[in-house]
Amino acid sequence: MAKKSKLNPAKAAAAALNAAAAPPTIRNSVWSNNNTACVNTWFCLSAQALGQIDASFDDAETLTMHELACWNDLASPDNREIEAATLADILTKLFTNMLGARYEAGQNYASAVVAMTLVLTDAKKTVCELAAVVDELHCFTTER
Amino acid sequence: MKSSTPFPSVRIAFAAVLSGLALFSNVPSAPAQATTNNILANLDPARVLRAVGEKGVFDSLAQPLVQRILQTTHTNALLGFLNDWNLRPKFFHAADGVSDDAVLGLEYHYQKSIASRVLDDSWKNPMGVSLAFEARGDVAVEAQKNPNNLLETSLELHLFQGIGGIDPTYSNSDAAKAEFQHELMQNVLDKEFASGRGKAYNAMARRLTEHMAPQFFWDLQGHATLEADQQFHDRQWAYGGKLAFAFREWRAHSTAGWFNVLDYPFAALRWLVEKEDFQPSGRVFPSVVLGLDLVDGSDNDARIAIDPDTDAFPRGRAELAFKTRALRWQERPLYFSAAYRYFQEFSASRAIQSADLDRSEYFVMRMDLPYRFNLSFATGKLPLDQDNDEVYAIGWALNF
């Protein structure tokens, strides 16, 4: 009688194919409490600030835009876009007015709102990816 | 209408394509990935294909694979990914929830910001301009089972401005801002602070928000859009503009929040059940989109069958969206969400009016329930739909 394989084919296939198809790491999207953009993004979105996420710094990394308090599945894409742009507007204002950030060379208020809105309207993007874009747009005081 | 293509065979065929692409996409890769390819080679292909039917396996296969295919080597800068196509394979389920009616499909979204400028950087509330191209929609293997059979491709010019948000009289020195940032970086090393709890966290959050003010964000957009169903049987050009706006008061306790009458029932619920202060939230005022489009219906077969006049017609629309937290259940927020969309054709012919094609409205609301269940209600139709549905449903949320 043939010996039964202990391998769960479903799990093995998932693991193998997932590993084979794993995307390359996006540059600069490392979640760290040493990274000012990550800390600022988490802090500004947190419960007592803008009230978008109720999670610890560590847990916030993998939260998706779909899990933000403002994400409304039922809304039209236009409604989601204006709500995301409103959040992007206040985020960049907090970064520049309260936390002393300047815009990176070639970036400005308009590009910051447009770029963050694009991330905020993508259900699958994570807070970590949002922080990476925030980092590309803003030059924080710790980076000068 | 029943599917002419058996669902499992479609799924397996797609999985085979995915598996093949996965192998192909790794051929020229670095030696470190050769081990992964060996694992694949040792697996029984039949097992792999069977596994695709398992819960979660399809998702874990499709997402990274699509990302790998589309993420070319030149997308090194983070902003580069914004220029990429965003594709998401998914299963569409018919409203009646019968599993045999599930059909494979693809959601796509592409948005490219061609240019963005600030009109005057010195303004306290700067005004931005951006030019963008956008395409989005859902495509299903069987168009009849596509619950969102509307593809939109557009070129957009935006003029936008956020007024307020930060008290306009507030100003602080660069040194004070840098000190606040430094303090934040030090505090986040503390476990309690990093959990979003404790005195230090509350104090810093209070300092961040104490100079916030009501915010009004508006976006005026002009666009040319091609609207079509996925088979391009019914298609029409829409030109026009839209004004979208949202008002927010981000502070947890605010005077402006009292004007949010839609949140009163939920504030009462939070007050009764969770013993919170009775405070309607200023963070969840409904967002509003008002649009005026000139629609070319000359390719809309359903419309021409009723009225042979193919001249472009003006159409107005109003869209509202609202979402608020009703309760918490085991630390998880339970939200109430709602959306309303109204479309009205102006100066419609008598034939179009008689066929009730000059006006369409759609309302949907949903209440989250414990254990990821939800209760929803939808009524009405969207412009290219023929039928007016009224659907009550109990659902279960699964991120797929």
CA of A1 to nearest chain B CA: how many angstroms apart?
19
Quick check: B178 contacting A, CB < 8 Å?
yes
Give the pLDDT score at B78: 55
Residue of chain A whose alpha carbon sits nearest to that of B167: A97
Burial class of B186 by CB neighbour count within 10 A (0 to 12, 13 to 18, 19+) = exposed
Quick check: B185 contacting A, CB < 8 Å?
yes
Question: Coil, strand or helix: which one is B225?
Answer: strand
**Interchain contact, A72 vs B322, CB within 8 Å:** yes
Quick check: B377 contacting A, CB < 8 Å?
no
Tens of pLDDT along B102-136? 778 888 888 788 888 998 878 888 999 999 888 98
Q: Which helix (H) or strand (E) holds A111?
A: helix A109-120
Quick check: B196 contacting A, CB < 8 Å?
yes
Quick check: B28 contacting A, CB < 8 Å?
no
Residue of chain A whose alpha carbon sits nearest to that of B53: A10
How much is the average pLDDT of B290-309? 80
End-to-end CA distance of chain B: 25
ipTM: 0.82
Q: What band does B324 get if pLDDT is binned at 50, 70 and 90?
A: very high
Residue of chain B whose alpha carbon sits nearest to that of A137: B79
What are B376's strand-pairing partners?
B366, B393
Contacts of B118 in chain A (CB under 8 A): 108-110
Other CB atoms within 10 Å distance of the CB of residue B42? 9
Report helix, strand and coil shares of chain B as percent, to nearest 5.
30, 40, 30
**Interchain contact, A51 vs B181, CB within 8 Å:** no
**Which residue from B116, B158, B180 is facing A99, i.e. has the nearest CB?**
B180
How much is the average pLDDT of B339-346? 94
**Interchain contact, B86 vs A122, CB within 8 Å:** yes
Give the pLDDT score at B48: 52
Whole-number Å distance between alpha carbons of A101 and A94: 9
**Interchain contact, B43 vs A12, CB within 8 Å:** yes
Other CB atoms within 10 Å distance of the CB of residue B202? 13
Tens of pLDDT along B353-382? 888 888 889 999 999 999 888 898 888 887
Nearest alpha carbon to residue B142 among B282, B41, B7: B7
Tokens, residue B172: 């602080």
Quick check: B88 contacting A, CB < 8 Å?
yes
**Interchain contact, A79 vs B244, CB within 8 Å:** yes
Q: Is the dihedral of CA B9, B142, B55, A121 positive or negative?
A: positive
CA of B266 to nearest chain A CA: how many angstroms apart?
15
Q: What band does B22 get if pLDDT is binned at 50, 70 and 90?
A: very low
In this structure, chain A runs to a length of 144
Query: What DSSP string runs through B232-262?
Result: SSEEEEEEEEEEEEEEE--SSS-SGGGG-GG
Residue of chain A whose alpha carbon sits nearest to that of B131: A114
Tokens, residue B25: 């996409």
Whole-number Å distance between alpha carbons of B236 and B230: 12
Rounded to a whole number, what is the largest CA-CA distance in chain A?
Answer: 73
Give the pLDDT score at B330: 87
**A12 to each of A18, A83, B34, B36, B164, how far by Cα in Å?**
10, 41, 17, 12, 54
Quick check: B355 contacting A, CB < 8 Å?
no
Residues 104 through 123 of chain B touching chain A, CB cutoff 8 Å: 109, 111, 113, 116-118, 121
Residue B92 C-beta-side C-alpha neighbours within 13 Å: 21
- Of B12, B75, B78, which to mutate for an interface test with A (greatest number of A Cβ within 10 Å)? B78
CA of B111 to nearest chain A CA: how many angstroms apart?
8
Other CB atoms within 10 Å distance of the CB of residue B33? 15
Q: Please tell me what DSSP assigns to residue B214.
A: E
Question: Coil, strand or helix: which one is B103?
Answer: strand
SS (HEC) of A34-70: CCHHHHHHHHHHECCCCCCECCCHHHHCCCEHHHCCC
Tell me the whole-structure pTM to 2 decimals.
Answer: 0.74
Question: Coil, strand or helix: which one is B278?
Answer: coil
Whole-number Å distance between alpha carbons of B143 and B394: 25
**Interchain contact, B76 vs A36, CB within 8 Å:** no
Pairing label, strands B389-396, B151-166: unpaired
Q: Which of A32-36, B45-49, B121-125, B385-389 is predicted with the least confidence, judged by mean pLDDT?
A: B45-49
Question: Coil, strand or helix: which one is B124?
Answer: coil
Give the pLDDT score at B293: 85
A–B interface: beta-carbon pairs under 8 A: 282
Is residue B51 a contact partner of residue A9, using CB atoms and an 8 Å limit?
Answer: yes
Q: Which helix (H) or strand (E) holds B143?
A: none
Contacts of A9 in chain B (CB under 8 A): 44, 47-48, 50-51
Nearest alpha carbon to residue A133 among B141, B82, B322: B82
Tokens, residue A49: 């600030």
**Interchain contact, B160 vs A80, CB within 8 Å:** no
Question: Coil, strand or helix: which one is A90?
Answer: helix
Tens of pLDDT along B137-158? 888 888 877 777 789 899 999 9
Please indicate whether residue B108 or residue B201 has the higher confidence score (pLDDT).
B201
Quick check: B32 contacting A, CB < 8 Å?
no
Tens of pLDDT along B52-87? 545 455 555 555 555 554 444 444 455 555 445 677
Tens of pLDDT along A76-88? 999 999 999 999 9
Whole-number Å distance between alpha carbons of A65 and A123: 5
Q: What band does B18 get if pLDDT is binned at 50, 70 and 90?
A: very low
Burial class of B84 by CB neighbour count within 10 A (0 to 12, 13 to 18, 19+) = middle
Identify the top-confidence range among A106-115, B41-50, B309-318: A106-115
Please give the backbone phi and psi of residue B99, each rounded to the nearest 5 degrees, phi first: -65, -30
- Of B21, B250, B281, which to mutate for an interface test with A (greatest number of A Cβ within 10 Å)? B250
- Of B81, B127, B340, which to mutate for an interface test with A (greatest number of A Cβ within 10 Å)? B81
Strand stretches in B249-388, DSSP E: 287-300, 313-329, 332-345, 359-368, 373-380
Give the pLDDT score at B77: 53
Is residue A32 a contact partner of residue B75, using CB atoms and an 8 Å limit?
Answer: no
| Position B276 pLDDT exceeds 70 | yes
How much is the average pLDDT of B285-302? 85
**Interchain contact, A85 vs B37, CB within 8 Å:** no
| Position B41 pLDDT exceeds 70 | no
Give the pLDDT score at A29: 73
Whole-number Å distance between alpha carbons of B240 and B246: 20
Whole-number Å distance between alpha carbons of A137 and A116: 9
Torsion of CA B136, B140, B146, B150, to 10 degrees: 30
**Which residue from B37, B64, B399 is facing A23, i.e. has the nearest CB?**
B64
**B375 to each of B121, B255, B368, how far by Cα in Å?**
47, 32, 7
| Position B45 pLDDT exceeds 90 | no
**Which residue from B77, B165, B201 is facing A93, i.e. has the nearest CB?**
B165
Question: Coil, strand or helix: which one is B257?
Answer: helix
Nearest-5° Cα angle at B196, A135 to A109: 30
**Interchain contact, B399 vs A122, CB within 8 Å:** no
| Position A4 pLDDT exceeds 50 | no
Is residue B239 a contact partner of residue B292, using CB atoms and an 8 Å limit?
Answer: no
Distance of CA A31 to the CA centre of its chain: 10
Is residue B215 a contact partner of residue B250, using CB atoms and an 8 Å limit?
Answer: yes
- Residue B218 makes CB contacts below 8 A (sequence gap 6+) with B160, B161, B163, B243, B244, B245
Question: Coil, strand or helix: which one is B355?
Answer: coil
**Interchain contact, B130 vs A142, CB within 8 Å:** no
